[in-house]
Amino acid sequence: AARTAWIRRAVATARFARDARQCRRGGIRSRLVASTRFFSDQAGEKKGGGANSSGDDNSTTTHFGFQSIPEGLKKSMVGQVFTGVASNYDVMNDAMSMGVHRLWKDYFISMVQPVHNTKMLDVAGGTGDIAFRAIDYVKRNEKMDMESCVTVCDINAAMLEEGKKKVLELGYLNSTGDDQVTFVQGDAEKLPFEDNTFDVYTIAFGLRNVTSIPDALKEAHRVLKPGGRFFCLEFSRVENPVIGPVYDMYSFNVIPSMGELIAQNRDAYQYLVESIRKFPPQQELRKIMIQNGFVNAEFENLTFGVVAIHSGFKPTTTTTTTTTTT
C-alpha cells in the first residue's frame, strides 16, 4: 500500500511538472490549471481512490471565472491572481475604468458617512483605497482626524504591502503621529475579530472573489455591532439592452488586453471579467443578505448597473422584519 501511494504521488508530481513545462509561457491561468490538476490528484489519493477515483465523497465544486474547480482550491488560486497584479492594481483600475472607479468609491464613502469615532472594518481592501477615502471624508467634513483607526483586512499579503507603502507615502497619521490605518491579514470567511466589534463593515470589489458569499456575509454580520451597517461595492449586472452588449464587448475584448499591456498579466484580467458574470445579480444578492441576517437590505445601481452598492443593517434586536428599496 505504501509503495502504491508513493507511485501515485510520483505520477501526480510528474504530471504537474509536465504541465508546468508546457504552460511556462502561458500565463497565470495555465499555471493555475496545472496546479489544480496536481492538488486534485493529491486530494483523490487522500480519499483512498487515487487521481481517477469516483464516489460520493468528491469535493464540492465552485467557480473560478468560468472554470469549475474544487472548492478548497479557490482561495489559493485567487490569491495567486492578486499576488501577480498587486503592484499594478491601482494603475489597472484607472485604465480599465477610465478613472470612473474613483467616482464610484467616492460616492460609496459618501453613503457610508463615517464620522471621527466610527469603528470601521474594510475587508479585501489591501491597497487602502477605501480606508484612505474614509479618513479624508472625516477630515473634510469634521475638520478633524478619526479617533479610531480604520482596520483593513485582506487575505493577500502582497496587497497589504501595497497599502502599507501608501500609508508611508501619503502620511496617513493622526495628530499624535500614530497610523490611522491598521492592516491585518485575514480571511473574509473567517475574520480574526471578536463578535460585535465594528460600527461599519465595507467591502469593495472583493465579495465576488470569496469562496462562499453566505459565509462571508455571516462573518460580516458577526463582527458588526448591533445596529452596525454593511456596505458592499461590487461589479454587477447591466440589464440595459443597448448598454449591455457594448459593456460585454469592452469587458471581454479590451480589459484582458489592457491587463497584458499594463500588468503583463492577461489571464488575471480575463478572470476578472469572468468572475463578474458569475457574481449574483442585484436582487439575488439582496436576498442572500436577508437570508444571512441583514435587515433593511437595499441596493443602488451606478453607471447602468456596471457596479452596485448594497447595504444592510445588523438588527439591534432579534426582529427579522426588513424594508428594502431598489
Q: Where are the alpha helices (DSSP H) in the chain?
A: 2-22, 27-46, 74-85, 89-97, 100-112, 129-142, 157-170, 213-223, 243-253, 255-262, 266-278, 282-291
Spatial distance between the Cα atoms of 79 and 74, rounded to a whole number of angstroms:
8
Spatial distance between the Cα atoms of 248 and 125, rounded to a whole number of angstroms:
26
Least confident of 106-110, 259-263, 312-316: 259-263
pLDDT tens across 22-53, in order? 444 445 444 444 444 444 444 444 444 443 33
pLDDT tens across 203-221, in order? 999 999 999 999 999 999 9
Which grid cell sits at 147? 479617533
Q: Has residue 324 got a pLDDT over 60?
A: no
Q: How confident is the model at residue 325 (pLDDT cuts 50, 70, 90)?
A: very low
Residue with grid cell 465579495, as numbered in its chain: 207
Q: Has residue 283 got a pLDDT over 80?
A: yes
Q: pTM of the predicted model, to two decimals?
A: 0.77
Backbone angles phi, psi at 200, to 5 degrees: -135, 140
Instruction: Give residue 177's pLDDT.
Output: 65
What stretch of H or E contains 302? strand 295-302
pLDDT tens across 227-248, in order? 999 999 999 999 999 999 999 9
pLDDT tens across 38-91, in order? 444 444 444 444 433 333 334 688 877 777 778 888 888 887 777 777 777 777
CA dihedral 169, 256, 203, 192 (to 10 degrees): -80
Spatial distance between the Cα atoms of 64 and 274, rounded to a whole number of angstroms:
8
Start-to-end Cα distance in the chain: 60
154 against 47, higher pLDDT: 154
Instruction: Give residue 135's pLDDT.
Output: 93
49 against 282, higher pLDDT: 282
Instruction: Give residue 176's pLDDT.
Output: 64
Report helix, strand or coil for 317. coil
Q: Has residue 95 got a pLDDT over 90?
A: no
Q: Let me know: does 235 contact 108? Beta carbons within 8 Å.
A: no
Q: Has residue 266 got a pLDDT over 80?
A: yes
How does 287-302 read in b/e, with b if 16+ C-beta sit within 10 Å?
A: ebbbebbbbbbbbbbb
Q: Where are the domains of the chain?
A: 77-312
Longest dimension (CA), the chain: 71
Q: Has residue 3 got a pLDDT over 50?
A: no
Instruction: Give residue 318's pLDDT.
Output: 58
* Residue in 66, 80, 4, 5 with CA at minimum distance from that of residue 35: 80
Least confident of 283-287, 308-312, 321-325: 321-325
Average pLDDT over residues 167-177: 76
Spatial distance between the Cα atoms of 179 and 172, rounded to a whole number of angstroms:
6
CATH of 77-312, one of 3.40.50.1110, 3.40.50.150, 3.60.15.10, 2.40.480.10: 3.40.50.150
Spatial distance between the Cα atoms of 282 and 206, rounded to a whole number of angstroms:
15
Average pLDDT of the residues of the chain: 81
| Chain-centre distance for alpha carbon 176 | 33
Percent of the chain predicted with pLDDT > 90: 49
Backbone angles phi, psi at 186, to 5 degrees: -170, 165
Average pLDDT over residues 12-23: 47
Average pLDDT over residues 249-274: 88
Q: What burial class does residue 270 get, using C-beta atoms within 10 Å of its C-beta: 0-12 exposed, 13-18 middle, 19+ buried?
A: buried
